Amino acid sequence: MSALRRDPTGLAISSPLRRPRVARITAVWLAMLLAIASLVICAAVGTLGAEATRVFLVALAMSTLLSAMPIAVLWFLDRRERESPWLFASAFLWGGLIATTLALPVNSTVLYFVAQWLESHTALRDMLGPDAAIMIGAPIAAPLVEETTKGLGLLLLFWLVRSEFDNVRDGLVYGALIGAGFNWFESALYVQQNFVQFGDAPFGFQLGIRYAWLGLAGHAMFSGIFGASLGFARATRFRWLAWIAPIVGFLIAVGAHAWNNSLPLFMTLLAAKHGEAPPTEIASPPDMDLLQAMTTASVTNLIVFLPFALLMIVIIRRSGHAERAVIREELADEVGGSITAQEYQTVLADRVYRTRRIDSRNKAASAALVNAQHELAFRKRRLRDRRLDPEADPRVAARRLQIARLRQLISETAVG
């Protein structure tokens, strides 16, 4: 129990952060990344003028409110093994502050070189029109650069807080959180850029299309797929799958992102093939309100991303089934100890959209007890998959002591 007392969040259990030298180096690197992010943000936002900065801040405030939708959905999906709110915030802010600002200068550099290359390929440039550099550069730069910067945050979580990275559902949640953070900041940037370019801030259009599927389309989906593959690698007992799954997951994420960014290029090439003249100037965003843009984009994304949407549905459903199976099987021999017979019946009755509770009079302690029981189940399964004895594991013993203390707290509350 001593490890749980020293680290009440449970984040440092089995974590390299428990080693002071690793913790110091990690803190220094994160501080450097935040400093770089701050400089990039100031350069990207503050140098465009006071009015453009005001537009960005308003768009960021609106994007912050809209981000409550994907966060709420992911919080619900994570309910059987609730992660720390600090961990949720860290994943979101990595995507929003670090991944975006690391990707921004690299994307800009690639687009610059694509524009230079088009200077010597005038036929292609004339065929595609004034957006030629973006049409060619966006499918090349953004998928690789942005999925890499987001993926680095996932890999960092996978390494630093491995005790909280148990399965596919955990990976999906962490990845989608990082993607939602990326979308939060990028959405405001696009509103500002459109304002600078056209003199009007398309709040409804830009925010609406970027919060399709309640904010779970686009970046949240791309990173969620990669995160799920890391969670699969964590949960599988086959070493070869543990190496292959993340590679496949990353390639799927990059492919989905590239497919999204390639659509304008494909549509323009198709129009040119049918003899349509290319546009002579960059078109301004359509005049759409938030709800209209969100609805239209949700339907369009469902068509465009149908295979990836189906993959996400399969991941969510199968990860839920897998979680419940582990909890049922690993808590079966805990009946009479860490779980009562009556509580185990609620485990058996648990369903996809139902969350069990033990005592409604003390909701906080009840939720903590349920979470601790689930953590115990996942820990035991992870040890069994590695052919280790859970009964010889000090953290299993510590988790059982934590459960006993929580049960005593609930009993005392009931008596009081």
Q: Return the pLDDT at 44.
A: 79
Instruction: Look up the pTM and report it.
Output: 0.90
The DSSP bridge partners found for residue 335 are 339
Overall average pLDDT of the 314-325 stretch: 93
Instruction: Report percent pLDDT > 90 for the chain.
Output: 62
Q: Residue 380: exposed, middle, or buried by beta-carbon count in 10 A (0-12, 13-18, 19+)? A: buried
Instruction: Categorize the per-residue pLDDT at 6 as very low, low, confident or very high, splitting at 50, 70 and 90.
Output: very low
The tokens of 17 are what?
């952060």
- Of 47-56, 63-72, 273-282, the range with the lowest mean pLDDT is 273-282
Residue 409 predicted with pLDDT over 80: yes
In the chain, the amino acid numbered 126 is D
Question: Rounded CA gap, 220 and 50, in Å?
Answer: 31
Overall average pLDDT of the 168-172 stretch: 94
Which residues, in sequence order, are CB contacts of 217 under 8 Å at separation 6+? 297, 298, 301, 305
Question: Rounded CA gap, 201 and 416, in Å?
Answer: 58
Residue 366 Cα distances to 3, 57, 77, 225, angstroms: 22, 40, 18, 32
Residue 221 predicted with pLDDT over 60: yes
CA angle 183, 189, 190 (to 5 degrees): 85
The tokens of 78 are what?
């994570």
- Of 70-79, 88-97, 322-331, 352-361, the range with the lowest mean pLDDT is 352-361
Overall average pLDDT of the 270-289 stretch: 85
Question: Rounded CA gap, 339 and 347, in Å?
Answer: 10
CA angle 262, 190, 111 (to 5 degrees): 50
Overall average pLDDT of the 58-83 stretch: 93
Residue 199 predicted with pLDDT over 70: yes
- Of 236-240, 302-306, 335-339, 375-379, the range with the lowest mean pLDDT is 236-240
Instruction: Categorize the per-residue pLDDT at 80 as very low, low, confident or very high, splitting at 50, 70 and 90.
Output: confident
Residue 154 predicted with pLDDT over 90: yes
Question: Rounded CA gap, 322 and 377, in Å?
Answer: 12
Question: Rounded CA gap, 31 and 22, in Å?
Answer: 14
- Buried b / exposed e over 13-26, threshold 16 CB at 10 Å, is bbbebeeeeeeeeb
Q: Return the pLDDT at 2.
A: 41
SS3 content of the chain, % helix, strand, coil (to 5): 80, 0, 20
Residue 272 predicted with pLDDT over 90: no
Instruction: Categorize the per-residue pLDDT at 4 as very low, low, confident or very high, splitting at 50, 70 and 90.
Output: very low
Mean pLDDT of all residues belonging to the chain: 88
Domain limits, the chain: 2-320, 335-415
Rg (CA), the chain: 24
Is the C-alpha dihedral spanning 207, 210, 212, 216 positive or negative? negative
Instruction: Categorize the per-residue pLDDT at 35 as very low, low, confident or very high, splitting at 50, 70 and 90.
Output: confident
Question: Rounded CA gap, 203 and 194, in Å?
Answer: 10
Question: Rounded CA gap, 241 and 243, in Å?
Answer: 5
Q: Given phi > 0 = left and psi -120 to 50 = alpha, else beta, which region is 100?
A: alpha
Residue 212 predicted with pLDDT over 70: yes
Residues constituting the chain: 416
Question: Rounded CA gap, 240 and 361, in Å?
Answer: 47
- Of 79-88, 183-192, 328-337, the range with the lowest mean pLDDT is 79-88
Q: Return the pLDDT at 283.
A: 81
Q: Return the pLDDT at 3.
A: 41
Instruction: Report percent pLDDT > 70 for the chain.
Output: 94
Residue 17 predicted with pLDDT over 70: no
